[in-house]
Amino acid sequence: MIKMVVTDIDGTIYSPKIGVTEEIKDCFRKLKRNNIKLVIATGRTIKSTQGMAGKFGVEVPLICYQGAIVANYTGEIWNAKYYDEKTARQVINDLRAKNIHMNVYVNDQLYVENDDDYIKEYIKDKMITYKVVNSFDELKFDRLNKVLAIDNDKNVINSLVKELGEKYKENTFVVKSTDYFCEIADKGATKGNAVRFLAQKWGFDLSEVLAIGDQNNDIDMVKVSGVGVAMGNGTPEIKKEADYITETVENFGFIEAMNKFVFKGEGN
């Protein structure tokens, strides 16, 4: 029996094409009526995730920054995995040498060195602001959430994931969250670890958890959960690891998965 549902946002319950739909909001309400714990898990910031949860009409726990932060809806942090400053500065220097655009997140604030088209495109639908600094070297990294590398060439991102993942494997988690995003954070900052934390906090067995997502940063939580679901629009990698492949986000794959594994044909 599923007691906890963990869902990604982008490409899973939301896309720019369909926006925030009443169908998903109705499904969330049905989960609540059935006393199912709902958790949102995303690479987004706390503020951005709060904003999306609000649009969907739910006040639920949040897994942010791929799992680096677990918080309640008000932003009270339950668990945090901050990135090592020394390693982060080495990563930043590596990315500078390759002329890669970087977003750096410190204490839930987004910073950039370059006020370019990458950042302007990135913040669309994110409900966040950013600050421009002359250099990341002048920032204090006391609560560094993650570094995000962005490039329009998916081959560049694939190479970065492999290169940085190998170079900093001792204390760093590197993953592709879209074809154009390379996420870099503390080794323990995964959605799977965040799912484990919440299951233990609430006394659930992992077999009682369903996790659903579409990108490679969702693979970890899909693998650790009793039921792991990949979206029809998901990457080949997550589909390979999932227990079930549902419909696409535009065809309400989230709702199909809930009907199959949680509600099981039951009425309202």
* Residues 55, 111 share a domain: no
pLDDT at residue 266, as a whole number: 62
Nearest Cα neighbor of 145 from 4, 49, 51 is: 49
Q: Above 80 in pLDDT, residue 163?
A: yes
Could you tell me the CATH number of the domain that includes residue 139? Answer: 3.30.1240.10
- Domain membership flag for residue 215: yes
* Residues 114, 62 share a domain: no
* Residues 205, 75 share a domain: yes
Cα–Cα distance between 13 and 26 in angstroms, integer?
Answer: 12
- Domain membership flag for residue 238: yes
* Residues 18, 53 share a domain: yes
Question: Which of 144, 166, 186 delimits the end of a domain?
Answer: 186
The pTM score is 0.95
- Domain membership flag for residue 268: no
Structural domain total, the chain:
2
* Residues 107, 172 share a domain: yes
Could you tell me the CATH number of the domain that includes residue 252? Answer: 3.40.50.1000
- Domain membership flag for residue 73: yes
pLDDT at residue 223, as a whole number: 98
Whether 48 contacts 150, CB under 8 Å: no
What are 225's two structure tokens? 């959960």
Question: Which of 135, 163, 186 delimits the end of a domain?
Answer: 186
> What is the tens place of the pLDDT at every residue in 65-107?
999 999 999 999 999 999 999 999 999 999 999 999 999 999 9
- Domain membership flag for residue 54: yes
Q: Going along 151-264, which residue ranges are E strands?
A: 172-178, 181-186, 209-213, 227-230, 244-245
Order across the sheet with 109-112: list the strands: 130-132, 109-112, 101-106, 144-150, 181-186, 172-178
Q: Above 90 in pLDDT, residue 165?
A: yes
- pLDDT band, residue 125 (cuts 50/70/90): confident
* Residues 9, 35 share a domain: yes
- Domain membership flag for residue 253: yes
* Residues 223, 167 share a domain: no
Q: Above 60 in pLDDT, residue 268?
A: no
Question: Which of 153, 186, 219 delimits the end of a domain?
Answer: 186
Q: Above 90 in pLDDT, residue 264?
A: no
Q: Above 90 in pLDDT, residue 213?
A: yes
pLDDT at residue 121, as a whole number: 95
Q: Above 90 in pLDDT, residue 265?
A: no
- Domain membership flag for residue 175: yes
> What is the tens place of the pLDDT at every residue in 5-50?
999 999 999 999 999 999 999 999 999 999 999 999 999 999 999 9
* Residues 231, 218 share a domain: yes
Q: Above 80 in pLDDT, residue 229?
A: yes
- Tell me what percent of the residues of the chain surpass a pLDDT of 90: 97
Mean pLDDT along residues 239-268: 92
* Residues 194, 182 share a domain: no
* Residues 159, 99 share a domain: yes
- Tell me what percent of the residues of the chain surpass a pLDDT of 70: 99
* Residues 137, 54 share a domain: no
* Residues 210, 233 share a domain: yes
pLDDT at residue 164, as a whole number: 98
- Domain membership flag for residue 236: yes
Where in the sequence is the domain holding 176, given as residue range(s)?
85-186
